[in-house]
Structure 1
Amino acid sequence: MPSPSSPKQLCLLLTVDRRSEQFSQFLQVLEERRARGEQIYLYCLDDGIREIDSLHALAGPQLRLFGCAYAAMRRSLPRNPDVTYGGLGLLADLISGTAELLAF
């Protein structure tokens, strides 16, 4: 359990790609929460998996990036070797281990 001085942990679920109007909302929330110093766990699935490579540049200690293995396979997308891929078990762990979940 995080100590009171630990940053808030947030799980972001990205299901859309940059063609969606929600993508700009997602980017705005992502930047606001990063500016607050929150620890962010970002899981990309459905069309959001298409944004893995563009979001990888933002990954680091404050932003952990995960992808849905099935979504990547169904879209014939290569896996980025620097990203952790998994399924619903991984997503469930991220959700249960964070204080808040936001989906786009």
Structure 2
Amino acid sequence: MKQGKIALPGQMWEYEAVEERVTRPDLGEYASWGLRVRTAEGAVTLHDVSVERRFVEQLAGLLNDRQLEPVHLQEVVEGFVSYPEELEKAAANGEKA
């Protein structure tokens, strides 16, 4: 798996974009990007977030900068997938995720 942006040393949570191969009966096999968060307790991956690498890498960068608590990951990802223009605004304006 290829990896996207990662957190700086010393941060509590480390988010990264991870490339995946996904197979679905209706779509066949395709490349997708997931979002992995590493904590002191281990790692969890949210699979098939987007087929757009840049989007997931930008999201990982924002989550690292803001140190979003992993418990909120699903909700935040769903929000940015539904309204991708908000990710651009948040990254440009330094708003909290």
TM-score (norm 1): 0.28
Is the strand fraction higher in 1 or 2?
2
Higher relative contact order (CA 8 A, sep 6+): 1
